[in-house]
Structure 1
Amino acid sequence: MKNIIYTALLSMFISLSSCSWLDVNSKSEVSIEDMFSTREGYYTTLSGIYISMGGENLYGNNLCLYALEPLTQQYTVSDTETDRTKWAQFQYSTDEGEELISNIWSTMYNTIVNCNVVIEQLQKDDMPTFEPGVTNILLAEALGLRAYMYFDLIRMYNDSYKVNPNSANVPYKTDFGFSIGKKITTTELLQELMADLTKARKLLQDNDPIFTGKSFNDKYVSYDRTQRMNYYAVTALMARIEMFRENYKEAYLLADEIIQSEKFRFIKQDEIIETDIYGKELKVDRIFMPEMIFGLYTETVLTASKETYEGLTQDFVKSDACYEESDVRRNWLYTNPSANNKINLIRYQRSKLTEDASKYGPSVVPMLKLSEMYLIAAEATLKDKSTGGDAISLINKIKKERITTELSDNASEEKIQTEITHEYICDFKGEGQLFYYYKRNNMTSIDDGRYNGNSVIMKSENYKLPLPKYEQDFGYGNSN
């Protein structure tokens, strides 16, 4: 990790080179004092963190499509891509696999270091003058984004929590100095993340327009709050983490708060594809934007999807059998006659023609969304009856909105859990979340992608990406 931190400090992360405060073309460094001498420096730096997260190495490709989706077994991979085929079989130690692992790790930590810079600067006394409440929003966003990334590092590089809550492959670094970071267990790191998120939630509860209804003149805060780490996004992330560490009642209460807020809603069928009388598409929303608690804006995903999931020779969805004919999520799939009727994932597909731009909403990757809150609440209720929730009603709400067959009122607990898994398979195509669901439950067999009763046997080690070789050489990689 030492080399990563050096890189981060010298360049303040190369993907931010489009930002006005960064000069990577000279040997000189931009001082932190200069960088944060104006309000613009804070806005630019925090915006740059979102840009980094939306890049190819993270949520613009690898963590929503290229790296994590094949591990769910829901896709075929071209036989000509030997390394990628092995990756989909959990053989991570190919040349391409090692490069992929290293890119995710290094980019994530570089972006975390930039969060650390912003967090420290936002807590200093000698800051530029902001409109009251704005610095609290900025600080909360930085804390929330850092926690989001750390949690995904845990979910990728540490053992399953059920197997080993003391796994310690993810160094915890909260500064931007040359130290490597603290060796810390999953249990300990989750406690740190929840403390940060609790602080962020309080700051946003008092200031975030999406929660308070306040209006600001500040240009940054006036941006669409569902595309920022907002109050409900922090709450949703806390629900996700509490579910992960098996605090079911707490997870339920957090998820239920979002459900009861009615700030987000399920998309209606006629909002997904709107056509004229001749069948020409006028409006398209395959992302299901009304459901987004936090959608990360990134145009990178459009190219990534086109190159790997929408073509004639790349990754194809194995089967559409998990979806009923009436399921609105079928709009995410396209049976391609030019590819021998193989099924493309077209969730992110859009026309590049200038005249078609008005058909689409913002280009975002789902990071936290309403259906997950229903599934968390349902699963938490199933595993802890003291929540007082109704798992069947919660699942049936999703099924009703997706226009699929609902569970019977007397469904068994086994059937309820099976349907929760079914909904994760159906509802998270192209998001990278299904693999994490399997890992959280340490499932020993998973659907093979054809939804016909066949499964793939899973070993615990399949659920953990190995650390980059330079990290192992430096002394990490021992989970105990």
Structure 2
Amino acid sequence: MLLIMKRIIKNLIYIFPVLLLMEGCNSFLDVKPQDNILEEQVFSSVDGFNIAINGVYADLNQNGLYGANLSGGMLDVMAQYFDLSNREHIFAQYPNYDFANDEYKSRAESVWSRAYELIANTNAILYHADDKKEMLGDIYYGIYKGEGLALRAFLHFDLMRMFGSNYQEDQDLEVMPYMTQHERKVQPLTSNKDLVNLIIKDLQDAKELLKVVDPILTKGVLNFDDPNTNKLNYRQYRLNYFAVCAMLARVYLWAGDQPKAKEMALEVIQKGQVAGSEIFPWVTTEAVNNRGEYPDRIFSTEVLFALYNTNRISIQNFQYSYTLNQFQILTFIGNVADGRVPVLYPNENDFRRKLHWAQRVNNSSTEILYFTKYLDVTDTEGVSNAYRYMFPLIRISEMYLIAAETAATLEESAQYLNKLNVNRGLPEITLTSQDELKLMIENEYLKEFLGEGQTFFYFKRLQMGSIPSPSRPGVDRIPMQKGFYIFPLPESETSQRN
């Protein structure tokens, strides 16, 4: 509880100094045995709840989570995207899946500890939401309880995708704990099957709460400041109703329940993209082509759930910048015209080819191919403010890919894929076989989620026996083993169970 209160108090100091003045700085910061009293003070108002849950969202940007480890670097290297032929590269050990390596151990420990810390903080919010239901009122109770349940499910699911084994083969294998208490005590390991059931229950409960109170259903994402309603604005930066439905689609697909996965994906598509009143409209050609130095490379209008990361440029600078040397940069083999870029994006009109890759001469007079998705964008008119700090975690395009994968016929699959194709500057396609469909979906994951850490989990869900090679793209595939997909539990966890 001490750790929870320190982090919540840190957020209060930053965002809500008036409360500190009311309580007296010395007494409020004196975190001692009266933690229960302090916790009651934090959760004594709607503002306190808002600050607490904002603190969880903000802390998802930690380097141990989506600020670095889960933002595409490590996971995308494991998905074999990049040219790491130089054995001195700082990521050189990751394509070998040597989980005994100290670098792997350190990153896995960081993900594990940070995620469970935020789960504990979220559980504190959930506990007090029930206790203060009358004070919160129906709307804020539904928002904070719904988002809290969704956050708990979201974090557990990503931990499961990393540390869990193959769901279809090992449903009864105990893999990790599902934490529902805000005290950090050792909890029993939970089986794959029970984990999925607990995640689904939290998401279903969140969906039921949010469908009644989430303003996104009637007013959209509310992507603007309003001093009277800011607690309910910017819904794309919260686990809103549509993001929860999308998470259910992800989890059902992971568990092999294709009908329910399709049902949830279509709910997002059909309610989120009603013609003429789209909540998540496709990125426009104008946003892609006609904004000079500040194009919408994130396709921000399509993002169902994102983090607001004012330090997002560090992801670009420390992983993809053309100024990095050959031992640091994560990039494809070859160049824009010859190498993995034209293999993965054969059509030059593909928005992702045009917006996500460039060449530039570095300080050593060497022409460098580099990934540009997270370049900083700013303009005097403020157009780019909507996406400058956005880091996407769930996209509507993923729902189209899930719908295509779970469709009853090839014709139906092609309809969903063509909707994505047309909105990426590509022509429509026809499908003639299941193998063609699988390859098409694989290629779309590779293109759509580069830099977002999702592709490795796609390969893991399907337990692919081989994945595309970064050194001979379009020709070779790298053989995979079951163990390559499973992060071992960190020593901090296993040592408590010996």
TM-score (norm 1): 0.88
Instruction: Give the aligned residue type for 2:39.
Output: I
The answer as to whether partners of 1:242 and 1:248 remain within 8 angstroms in 2 is yes
**Cα deviation, residue 349, structure 1:** 0.6
| Counterpart Cα distance in 1 of 2:129 and 2:284 | 41
Aligned with 2:151 (options 145, 151, 172): 145
Aligned with 1:364 (options 383, 390, 397): 390
- The alignment status of 1:271 with 2:296, answered yes or no, reads no
Matched with 1:245 is 255
Change (3 A) 1:354 1:418: closer
Matched with 2:414 is 392
**Cα deviation, residue 13, structure 1:** 6.9
| Counterpart Cα distance in 2 of 1:178 and 1:376 | 36
Aligned with 2:452 (options 418, 421, 431): 431
**Cα deviation, residue 59, structure 1:** 1.3
The answer as to whether partners of 1:83 and 1:94 remain within 8 angstroms in 2 is no
- The alignment status of 1:336 with 2:360, answered yes or no, reads yes
| Counterpart Cα distance in 2 of 1:177 and 1:273 | 51
Change (3 A) 1:9 1:340: same
Change (3 A) 1:78 1:346: farther
- The alignment status of 1:452 with 2:483, answered yes or no, reads no
Instruction: Give the aligned residue type for 2:443.
Output: H
SS state of the match for residue 251, structure 1? helix
For each residue in 1:347-389, what CA deviation from the matched residue of structure 2 results, as whole angstroms up to 9, or x when unmatched?
01115x78596544331111111110000011012xx56xx98
SS state of the match for residue 8, structure 1? helix
Matched with 2:276 is none
SS state of the match for residue 284, structure 1? coil
**Cα deviation, residue 310, structure 1:** 1.5
SS state of the match for residue 44, structure 2? coil
Instruction: Give the aligned residue type for 2:371.
Output: L
| Counterpart Cα distance in 2 of 1:425 and 1:15 | 39
For each residue in 1:381-434, what CA deviation from the matched residue of structure 2 results, as whole angstroms up to 9, or x when unmatched?
2xx56xx981111111111211224322x5211111110111111111111000
Matched with 2:336 is none
Aligned with 1:135 (options 132, 141, 145): 141
For each residue in 1:16-72, what CA deviation from the matched residue of structure 2 results, as whole angstroms up to 9, or x when unmatched?
574547989755375211211222210110000001112221112211122211111
Matched with 1:113 is 120
Change (3 A) 1:33 1:80: same
SS state of the match for residue 192, structure 1? helix
Matched with 1:375 is 401
The answer as to whether partners of 2:401 and 2:416 remain within 8 angstroms in 1 is yes
| Counterpart Cα distance in 2 of 1:434 and 1:15 | 35
Instruction: Give the aligned residue type for 1:8.
Output: L
The answer as to whether partners of 1:119 and 1:143 remain within 8 angstroms in 2 is yes
- The alignment status of 1:441 with 2:462, answered yes or no, reads yes
The answer as to whether partners of 1:284 and 1:360 remain within 8 angstroms in 2 is no
SS state of the match for residue 334, structure 1? strand
Instruction: Give the aligned residue type for 1:468.
Output: P
| Counterpart Cα distance in 1 of 2:487 and 2:115 | 14
- The alignment status of 1:301 with 2:307, answered yes or no, reads no
Matched with 2:194 is 188
Aligned with 1:325 (options 324, 328, 348): 348
How many residues align? The count is: 459
SS state of the match for residue 129, structure 1? helix
The answer as to whether partners of 2:74 and 2:91 remain within 8 angstroms in 1 is no
| Counterpart Cα distance in 1 of 2:174 and 2:320 | 34
For each residue in 1:266-303, what CA deviation from the matched residue of structure 2 results, as whole angstroms up to 9, or x when unmatched?
2122212424xxxx53x421000111111121123321
SS state of the match for residue 423, structure 2? helix
Instruction: Give the aligned residue type for 1:371.
Output: S
Matched with 1:462 is 484
Instruction: Give the aligned residue type for 1:378.
Output: A
The answer as to whether partners of 1:148 and 1:237 remain within 8 angstroms in 2 is yes
| Counterpart Cα distance in 1 of 2:421 and 2:331 | 25
Change (3 A) 1:377 1:59: same
The answer as to whether partners of 2:307 and 2:392 remain within 8 angstroms in 1 is yes
SS state of the match for residue 120, structure 2? helix
The answer as to whether partners of 1:301 and 1:348 remain within 8 angstroms in 2 is yes
**Cα deviation, residue 145, structure 1:** 1.0
Matched with 1:3 is none
Change (3 A) 1:46 1:392: same
- The alignment status of 1:226 with 2:233, answered yes or no, reads no
Question: Pairwise CA RMSD of aligned residues?
Answer: 2.7
| Counterpart Cα distance in 2 of 1:446 and 1:8 | 41
The 10-residue stretch of structure 1 (315-324 or 184-193) with the greater mean CA deviation from structure 2: 315-324
- The alignment status of 1:345 with 2:366, answered yes or no, reads no
- The alignment status of 1:205 with 2:216, answered yes or no, reads no
Q: Identity percentage over the alignment?
A: 26
SS state of the match for residue 166, structure 2? coil
SS state of the match for residue 264, structure 1? coil
For each residue in 1:132-166, what CA deviation from the matched residue of structure 2 results, as whole angstroms up to 9, or x when unmatched?
41211111011111111100000000112133223
TM-score (norm 2): 0.85
The answer as to whether partners of 2:168 and 2:256 remain within 8 angstroms in 1 is no
Q: How does 1:399-438 map to 2 (within 5 A)?
A: 399-408=421-430, 410-438=431-459
| Counterpart Cα distance in 2 of 1:269 and 1:119 | 42
Instruction: With a CA cutoff of 8 Å and minimum separation of 6, indicate the structure with the bigger relative contact order.
Output: 1
Change (3 A) 1:220 1:145: farther
For each residue in 1:169-221, what CA deviation from the matched residue of structure 2 results, as whole angstroms up to 9, or x when unmatched?
22111011242123211110111111111111111111111114499986344
The answer as to whether partners of 1:377 and 1:389 remain within 8 angstroms in 2 is no
**Cα deviation, residue 224, structure 1:** 1.0
Change (3 A) 1:178 1:83: same
**Cα deviation, residue 168, structure 1:** 2.3
| Counterpart Cα distance in 1 of 2:10 and 2:491 | 23
| Counterpart Cα distance in 2 of 1:33 and 1:116 | 14
Change (3 A) 1:176 1:273: same
| Counterpart Cα distance in 2 of 1:367 and 1:136 | 23
SS state of the match for residue 295, structure 1? strand
Aligned with 1:8 (options 3, 21, 45): 3
| Counterpart Cα distance in 2 of 1:53 and 1:68 | 16
**Cα deviation, residue 85, structure 1:** 0.8
For each residue in 1:249-281, what CA deviation from the matched residue of structure 2 results, as whole angstroms up to 9, or x when unmatched?
111111011111213222122212424xxxx53
